[in-house]
Amino acid sequence: MGEMGFLGANLPTEYGASGVSNVAYGLIMYELERIDSGFRSFASVQGALVMYPIYRYGSEEQKRTYLPQLAAGQMIGCFGLTEHDGGSDPGAMKTRARRDGESYILNGVKMWITNGNIADIAIIWAKDDDDVVRGFVVPTDTPGFQANHIKHKMSMRASVTSELVMDEVRIPASQMLPETRGLSAPLSCLTQARYGIAWGALGALEAVYEDALSFSQHRSTFDKPIASRQLVQTKLVDMVTDHTNGLLLAWRLGVLKDAGTMHHTQVSMAKRKNVRVALNAARSAREILGGSGITLEHPTIRHMLNLETVDTYEGTHDVHTLILGRDITGHNALV
């Protein structure tokens, strides 16, 4: 991926990235997720959740130290925000960063961390002595840092998912991202990742639609292909309509992002809508495939189970609903 320029592709070329437009970046995410959501997740985390915070909030030294290696795929990163008791409510995080002279000492546990067991560095979010959320670049070989591989998953099986445990992890104070102050910093990173997801989910939708369409044209019942049945055609029409609408939404979002006028609530709308219609399409495709739909001879069940995770992470469907509701009405139903 690094050799092809896929990692952090929409960041400036100054630090080794490709510098492509946000629409082009979205298309990369689309094609990666057409293969597998876990495949796209690897690139999303590397670019939007590791490279972006270093670019946006890091010192010049941090940018020049890490970004070229991350862009080239010579270094892998992960993003530690979610905790066992702090998913949709990241402000409830318990991870602490205690100042000790010219060092910070980190203690806490992060959960559901993509790339955790293969990462060279982790972007860890923790509350400092003043209860302000700060970001830190933590080398994963630092004493006291441990990544535990989460196994027995029925979803995102191509993706490495981990629990990160930090026990008296001492890092130089210079490893703090100096411009991070408060939850707005990690949330801005999630906005970048959600943008890529809004595109990527449509790649998965295309994959299950093509699988179902092909199957329906070759599978016959009562001497006719099931593609000739009205109920099957209804499912296919819904899939291709949702795909078309979703692409228009993602494209418009990309245009706004390139113009610097995109708002995070617009990203919530796109992530919420495009992932849910992709998940529904995968379920409909599985129905068209019948018994064949539960086998790995077809990609549909794999995409369907992956999309259950995509519908949950980076803000659940319900949480994005409330974010949009707050923006529309001015009333906060989240708390």
**CB-based burial of residue 188 (10 Å sphere; 0-12 exposed, 13-18 middle, 19+ buried)?**
middle
Q: Which of 83, 163, 206, 314 is catalytic?
A: 314
Q: How do beta strands 77-80 and 121-127 pair?
A: parallel
Question: How many Cα atoms sit within 13 Å of 252 on the Cβ side?
Answer: 11
Q: What is the C-alpha separation between 79 and 124, in angstroms, rounded? A: 6
Q: Which of 218, 211, 264, 199 is nearest to 239 (CA)?
A: 211
| Residue 314 bears catalytic tag | yes
Q: What is the C-alpha separation between 272 and 320, in angstroms, rounded? A: 6
Can you give the length of the chain in residues?
Answer: 335
Token output for 118: 């293969």
Q: What is the C-alpha separation between 41 and 197, in angstroms, rounded? A: 8
Which H or E element spans position 2?
none
Q: Is 181 helix (H, G, I), strand (E, B) or coil?
A: coil
| Residue 108 φ then ψ, to 5° | 155, 180
Q: List residues with catalytic annotation.
A: 314
